[in-house]
Homo-oligomer: A and B are copies of this chain.
Amino acid sequence: MPAIRRADEKLRDVSRRMILDRTASLLVRQGYGTTSLRDIAQACDMKAGSLYYHFESKDALVEEILTEGVNRVESAVQKALDAMFDAAPLDRVRVAMEVHLRTLHDRSDYASAHIRCFSHVPDDMRRRLRRTRRSYDAVWAGLLEAAQAAGDIAADVDLLTLRFAIIGMLNWTLEWRLPSGAGPEEMADRFYRIAFQGACNA
């Protein structure tokens, strides 16, 4: 009966995925400490005890979501970059901004849950998440170094500050309602224009 077993596993995975999805959404809105297992269970049309069939603790569930949040952004950005490996360095930066912002505002809440909850999860979880982040940080450091080496970013611009600035303006969009009519791609283009041409230059 491998077919039946496979069907069972698939059903289990579907439930598991639903729990992850809905918990991510709760974490974005309520934060880590304010979201209880009973809240989560209710959002999943379940009872709190049933969650332990799928996850061994609240923190294991939360950590899986926040980890997947970074990984989704990194792999989306990396995939887009791989498809344009020979493009101009600044074009690669612009695309990375677009994909980062689009992933942050897509229908799933994994990336936003990470951003909203990172600083308030227990210390040991945050330590592990920091390690997961490093790989994505390296992608950005490499992008900006390449652009500066090519002479496309002024030599006197500090790349760490520039990285802070770009990631900061992108991530902070979670705190606003984006202007209606301007999707993530349009917003990313406007941010790119500001950060690289500057607001002063026509």
Residues of A within 8 A of B (CB): 29-35, 90, 116, 118-120, 152-158, 160-162, 164-165, 167-173, 175-176, 179, 182, 187, 190-191, 193-202
Contacts and interface: CB of A to CB of B under 8 A. Distances in A.
Contacts of A182: 161
Query: Which among A33, A116, A169 has the greatest number of chain B C-beta atoms within 10 A?
Result: A169
Contacts of A200: 90, 152-154, 196-198
Contacts of A201: 154, 197-198, 201
Given A30-B33, A172-B167, A194 B162 contact: yes
B173 A168 contact: yes
Query: Which among A34, A35, A187 has the greatest number of chain B C-beta atoms within 10 A?
Result: A34
Contact of A169 (B90, B165, B198): B165
Nearest to A120: B31
**Majority-rule SS of A interface residues:** helix
Contacts of A164: 169, 172-173, 176
Nearest to A147: B199
Contacts of A193: 157
List the 3 closest A-B pairs by CB distance, nearest first.
A33-B33, A198-B198, A168-B172
Given A168-B168, A196-B199, A197-B200, 10 more contacts: A119-B175, A157-B194, A161-B191, A168-B169, A168-B171, A169-B169, A172-B172, A195-B195, A197-B198, A198-B198
A26 to B, nearest CB: 11
A202 B119 contact: no
B31 A158 contact: no
A179 B167 contact: no
A154 B31 contact: no
A169 B165 CA distance: 5
